[in-house]
Structure 1
Amino acid sequence: MKLELKKYVLELKHTFTISRESHDTQDTLITCLSIDGHTGYGESTSNPYYKITFESMEKEIEAIREEIENFDFKEPEGFHDFLVSKGLSNFSICALDLAAHDLYGKLQAKPLYEIWGTSNDQYPITNFTIGLDSIGKMVEKMEEQPWPIYKIKLGTDNDLEIVKELRKHTDAKFRVDANCAWEASQAIQYCRELKELGVEFIEQPLHAEDWEGMKKLQKEAVLPLIADESCIVEEDVDKCAGYFDGINIKLTKCAGLTPALRMIKKAKELGLKVMVGCMTESTVGISAIAQLLPQLDYVDMDGALLLKNDIAEGVEIRENGTVIFPEENGSGVKLLK
């Protein structure tokens, strides 16, 4: 098996701001795994919150390059177990696991959703994310990208004012993501008004470790609560039951499609709604997420829509949210450059 690593700096259409950071570009690692003329592609972005850089991922993957290239690849799960045994970060494992799944599907001549026994006849529509900005700029972003569902990033001193103003300009469904910025009492108060403003659910309202606050909030919240920073890896799914109504799985954080499939199964057993979210990824990462669509209640896979220029072909998302699945097998990815 041949391994190739590529670095790209993805340029965003607009400065992307959440409660704890802003950026205009996004470093991303693309992994390429090849066997018998077939190549699978995976992706993981850098992330300052988790202290992940392109260089840190490259260093730990290069350290086991020979073992990866000599690995007797049969299916992605065994390869994932091997990567975990090597102590790589979840972000590095994700990039390799996504490539392994894409490669496996191409070798089997089937898209991944079909290999997993699901149909793409029905699927949830992705939201389009409106990052924090001046209210005027946030309105401009909505007008530039008309969409049926918006996820609005919050975490300011005037969060309700933002949502009230945005509501004047669209009848679209709203979701809000506080990225850990609120306190429990504040969130309880916000819930009531946000529901009146047509908000569907609130994502990660409190700090990831504020379980006492979440217990209080869960009892009084009039909107569903979705865990993000509180649900990173498989072990967190059980913990979130009783505190949240659903979980948002990020492939980079949990270490790829292999654990994500298990997290989806476990969440459904616990009666939790399931969402898969993205980072600011190219179509490489987004196409992997799209293979999970038939299994999801909600999805946030707008990362490539936020870019000035994409680096790959694969899943295509139309302006009404319709997903066009590629003819390629696996995740359906082809690099453009």
Structure 2
Amino acid sequence: MLKASFKRHTLSFNTPGGTSRGVLKTKNSWYVEIYEQTKPDVVGIGECSILPRLSVDDKPHLESKLTEVCEQINIYAHSLHESLTEWPAIRFALEMALLDLQNGGGKKIFHSDFVVGMKAIPINGLIWMGEMEYMQEQLEQKLKAGFDCIKIKVGALDFKKEIELIKEIRRRYDASQIEVRVDANGAFSPDEALDKMIQLSKLDIHSIEQPIKAGQWQVMADLCKETPLPIALDEELIGLDDFQTKEEMLSIIKPQYVILKPSLLGGFKASDEWVRIAEAQNVGWWATSALEGNVGLNAIAQWTAIHDNSMPQGLGTGQVFSNNVSSPLEVKKGHLFYNINEPWGVLPEENIIV
């Protein structure tokens, strides 16, 4: 018999995170803890991470659903992939906790050279939106820290200023030295998207994430056909749970890349399905965290490592919070490492909900 509970953790940003959807100062995560009644000392932990106005689970009764799941854990443990299709972040947390429990409760749930400290994962350095001086400051920090792949949020400021920031990078480094990715989070209108992508393409941009809002399949398909630089779908994947719908969307839009965020897609089994569909259609992919704390980030990094994808991944967000759970995860010279000599910190004790 399994027992389960959860606790809430409000993560605080070191500095506000600006995107085209607004500025984030805090975000909530919920840690689901599962154990067998006869072995209460072995606990599997999963993180349910919510992004406001983006996560499917961003609903007022989220905690009521978590309470129901924990009270009926022996039912949900066997049916999570069928019964939690409308709650992908909860499904992700439950899947993670159960895998952790099966592997002894040590937060090592996917075995690879990464979790024994023998291999690092290349990651991009993220530049948040903000005043130009602030964005330039972030850029200097990332370059000094040894990142050779930079991701810049665009779409909320004067586009000319955003272009100037990228030009500043290109004045100092060519594309063989620094890879630049941009993420519009759907901020461009269909009428202006192609023109803006043409301007960006002149700066040797690697790719642009989600140039227009999700749900406009034919418009996005036309952009992917005409684009002068690769397009990576992100928000477009959220809410699609049926295999045939996933196949249909990719076959219609024909993007160059998709970005996989397990918290938003319903976990690892769902993400594996996206990998199979994308690779069958010759669509590239990389994984990105969705501002999980270190518990969720750790699991996503381990899942990414077993797929041996050599592209820079979006897994550097563990450093953005001032009160994250301390972990073995370390970022050095543009890579994510698992330091086997660093122990895990204790989960916060406030807001415990049984």
With over 3 angstroms needed to count, the CA separation of the structure-2 counterparts of 1:253 and 1:79, relative to structure 1, is same
Instruction: Give the 5 Å matches for 1:179-328.
Output: 179-232=185-238, 233-235=240-242, 236-238=245-247, 239-241=249-251, 242-294=253-305, 295=307, 296=309, 297-318=311-332, 320-327=333-340
Instruction: Give the 5 Å matches for 1:1-337.
Output: 1-35=2-36, 36=39, 37-49=41-53, 50=55, 52-53=57-58, 56-68=61-73, 70=74, 79=77, 81-82=79-80, 84-85=82-83, 89-106=87-104, 111-114=109-112, 125-146=122-143, 147-156=147-156, 158-169=158-169, 171=173, 172-232=178-238, 233-235=240-242, 236-238=245-247, 239-241=249-251, 242-294=253-305, 295=307, 296=309, 297-318=311-332, 320-327=333-340, 335-337=346-348
Q: Contact 2:264/2:290 (CA < 8 Å) preserved in 1?
A: no
Distance in 2, matches of 1:122 and 1:222, equals: 35
Q: Contact 1:178/1:206 (CA < 8 Å) preserved in 2?
A: yes
With over 3 angstroms needed to count, the CA separation of the structure-2 counterparts of 1:246 and 1:123, relative to structure 1, is farther
Give the C-alpha shift of residue 88 in structure 1. Answer: 5.5
Distance in 2, matches of 1:54 and 1:234, equals: 18
> What is the number of equivalent residue pairs in this alignment?
324
Distance in 1, matches of 2:138 and 2:259, equals: 24
Q: Runs of 5+ in structure 2 lacking a partner?
A: 349-354
Q: Contact 1:14/1:24 (CA < 8 Å) preserved in 2?
A: yes
Give the C-alpha shift of residue 65 in structure 1. Answer: 2.4
Q: Contact 2:120/2:335 (CA < 8 Å) preserved in 1?
A: no
Per the normalisation by structure 1, the TM-score is 0.85
Post-superposition Cα deviations, 1:247-267, rounded to whole Å, max 9, x if no partner, equal 111112111112112221221
Give the C-alpha shift of residue 203 in structure 1. Answer: 0.4
Aligned AA for 2:285? V
Aligned AA for 1:125? P
Per the normalisation by structure 2, the TM-score is 0.81
Distance in 1, matches of 2:319 and 2:86, equals: 30
Give the C-alpha shift of residue 177 in structure 1. Answer: 0.7
Task: Among all aligned residue pairs of Structure 1 and Structure 2, give the percentage whose two residues are the same amino acid.
Answer: 21
Q: Contact 1:234/1:262 (CA < 8 Å) preserved in 2?
A: no
With over 3 angstroms needed to count, the CA separation of the structure-2 counterparts of 1:141 and 1:56, relative to structure 1, is farther
RMSD of aligned alpha carbons: 3.0
Give the C-alpha shift of residue 55 in structure 1. Answer: 6.3
